[in-house]
Amino acid sequence: PHGHSAGDAILVEITNAIQNAVPPSSLVARSGGEEFAILTVTDDAVGLSRLADDIRLTVSSSTDATVSVGGVCAEIIEATYHSDHPTLSELMDRLSAQADQLLYAAKGMGRNRAETATVAPSYWRHLRSSPTDEQDDGH
């Protein structure tokens, strides 16, 4: 079978395989074409690497698709928005761009691979923990 219906069926198979590989609390979304974005919680970079491999292996064994995975592990600290700092949306865009680079690196190394990286907590430190951090202490 060929055409849109065959492509749609493959995407459904891949989606089901991904959802079987990730923790139930994960968010899985198609981000365009044949790419998916997954937002999940792991304990550390090792956990992310293990999860990326699990996704790759589950999709490969459940479908005829060749899979490459790029993932970013970011320690998210409690923060609130401050006007002269990036918004959460901008930070998510940065993470997405980094994950995209890792995906293309994985594809460039022969496909059917998983590449992950850790974003240092300093990546987020320019956000303030609360608006009161900037208030004058009365002196």
Q: Residue 76 in 3-state DSSP? A: coil
Is 86:126 a contact under the CB 8 Å cutoff? yes
At 36 the pLDDT is: 87
At 92 the pLDDT is: 78
- Assigned domain for 139 exists: no
pLDDT digits (tens, 9 = 90+) for 21-60: 999 998 888 887 788 888 888 878 888 889 999 999 999 8
Domain that holds residue 17: 4-133
Residue type, 38: I
Domain containing 80 — which CATH number? 3.30.70.270
Q: What is the pTM of this model?
A: 0.69
Domain count, the chain: 1
pLDDT digits (tens, 9 = 90+) for 87-122: 667 777 888 888 888 888 888 888 788 888 887 655
18, 26, 61 from 7: Cα distances, Å: 16, 24, 18
At 110 the pLDDT is: 83
For residue 117, give the H/E element and its range.
Answer: strand 114-119
